[in-house]
Amino acid sequence: MQLSDLYRQHVAEMGRRTINALEHTGYEHLLIASGVETCSFLDDRSYPFRANPHFLSWAPLDHHPSSWIVVTPGNKPILIYFQPTDYWHAPPAAPSGDWTECFDVRVIREAAHAAAHFPQKLSNAAIIGDVSAALDGVVPNNPTPLLNRLHMARTRKTPYELALLRHASARGVRGHRAAEAAFRSGASEHQIHLAYCSATDHTDAQLPYENIVALNANSAVLHYHHTPGPSPEHLLSFLIDAGAQVSGYACDITRTYSAHSGAFAELIHAVDEKQRLLVDQMRAGTDYRDLHLNCHHYIGQVLHATGLVDMSPEGQVEREITSVFFPHGLGHFLGIQVHDVAGLQRDEDGGAIPRPPGHPFLRLTRRLEAGNVVTVEPGLYFIPMLLEKLRAGKDARCINWGAVDALSPYGGIRIEDDVLVTDSAPENLTRNAFAEA
């Protein structure tokens, strides 16, 4: 089926979801602001624009500030399209393409003119957006009950969304292949980053999140962001966590490489094997909290099998030793946002599903459903501040400190794939994209 046909189906589904949310919460209209460009303090230069994800989930317009979507049950959705007359910057092109057929498109030249296209009576309207989008007394109220319903629905991806996520995966894989080649050639972190951006045809501002490009011990910083500088004298390892996007839908991929064979390369292989086992468990009906705890047992198995920790995997989990080497969550929802919404949400009425005790950074506690897209990203790191705390504790005697110290200059390992949950075997968007490349 053509992408344009999938898009029409997607907009129809968005309409059904919105009508359902409006009926259950008592609102008559839904207004969605794309957002506004914001200047830095005491300057006339704006920050990179990020569109409201609720706006993006309706329209493939990822750089269109001061635009609006208006949804009223029984009427065609209105797209208020801001196209200023401007010679300082390149304004958006006139709206065109099959997607425009889904909207009553109204072009405005000044942002303030959007108010003329709002419903006359807004006392019972839900208005979604940042407070900075307020216009002519119309202020976003972001009603929680309505957002809860929209967020829960958004965790189940439409065929159109899945098509874009697959395209984003293919784009991201091109970048990852270029980044690995740059690493193998001895490039610096910044040079690798530039190779990635070139291969994905992204500027820094267009990336779905700031690339993590880490050589050697920098790989132990979970959200390390490189600064331009020379390549280390001795290359040991390379971790890249980098994504790409298509019409706002992102991939989120991490790979780790060793510069040579040996213990660290074997450790990467061991983590990769466990990651594949975890991916196979991403099935509808499975509690993601259980998968996260399974991951800790797998990391414990790797630590024990490689002689890094002289304790059973079960004992390591109980004593929270695995949390020293794997301190973050197994993954999160993925879609129009990299860390997509409703990962902890109980149901359509809201509420939260608690994280397992001792695991404060898990971003997803839901029972998986068909149509969910999740990341699966186990890791094994040598983080100095966590290791020093372990070294000072009573479990220090169970650690092979000679081996740990020898591996610490390599930083750490993370393997991350994006996975579609189905009623049967999961679809690994990331590995499929690597295979097709």
Structural contact between residues 79 and 89, judged by C-beta atoms closer than 8 angstroms:
no
The DSSP output letter for 423 is S
For tokens 């890791």, what's the residue? 379
Nearest-angstrom CA–CA distance, 332 and 377: 9
Topology annotation, domain 3-154:
Creatine Amidinohydrolase; Chain A, domain 1 (3.40.350)
* 173: Cα separation from own chain's centroid: 15
Residue 1 pLDDT class (50, 70, 90 cuts)? confident
The CA angle 359-368-220, to the nearest 5 degrees, is 40
- pLDDT surpassing 90 at residue 137: no
pLDDT tens, position by position, 170-209: 999 999 999 999 999 999 999 999 999 999 999 999 999 9
CATH architecture of structural domain 159-436: Alpha-Beta Complex (3.90)
Query: So what's the pLDDT on residue 227?
Result: 79
Distance from the first to the final alpha carbon of the chain: 22
Question: Strand 427-428 relative to strand 104-108: parallel, antiparallel, unpaired?
Answer: unpaired
Nearest-angstrom CA–CA distance, 42 and 134: 21
Domain residues of the chain, as ranges?
3-154, 159-436
C-alpha distances out from residue 395 to 69, 237, 293, 302, 309, Å: 57, 28, 21, 18, 10
Mean pLDDT score across all residues of the chain: 96
Residue 236 pLDDT class (50, 70, 90 cuts)? very high
